[in-house]
Amino acid sequence: MPVSSGVRKRIREFLDPDDEIQYVFPADIVGSTNPSVFFAVTRKSITIMTTGYLSRKSPKSVVSATPRHQRIGPVETSAGPWFRFNGVDYEIDDEYVSVVHAADAEIRRDAAKPEDPLPDL
């Protein structure tokens, strides 16, 4: 099920006001006592927010923020979808695999663009 507009609104409160959310998906940190997080992929960053102990549906604080040029995946699907990001293993539901792939495809597409040979013109 897609992340609701209410959750997106709460996530925006943790981001720069001039930034724009491109992708949002929930994930669980493998082996954590407080596993539930949201990934918010924006034009500027990949921000991970914890939901706290009492609710899995509302972001409570920012765990980390990484520059947007970094890929999230690849997603391994052999034993349920999971990926490693910044040394931490995350599990996601099957429906969010395509979201991670879409976010990563944008990075690969932008990286494949050649530099402008005449940037001053």
For 29, the token pair is: 């940190």
pLDDT at 116 exceeding the cut of 80: no
Q: What is the pLDDT of residues 65-103, one digit of tens each?
A: 999 989 999 999 988 999 999 999 999 999 999 999 999
pLDDT at 1 exceeding the cut of 80: no
**Separation CA 54–CA 16 (nearest Å):** 26
**Separation CA 115–CA 94 (nearest Å):** 36
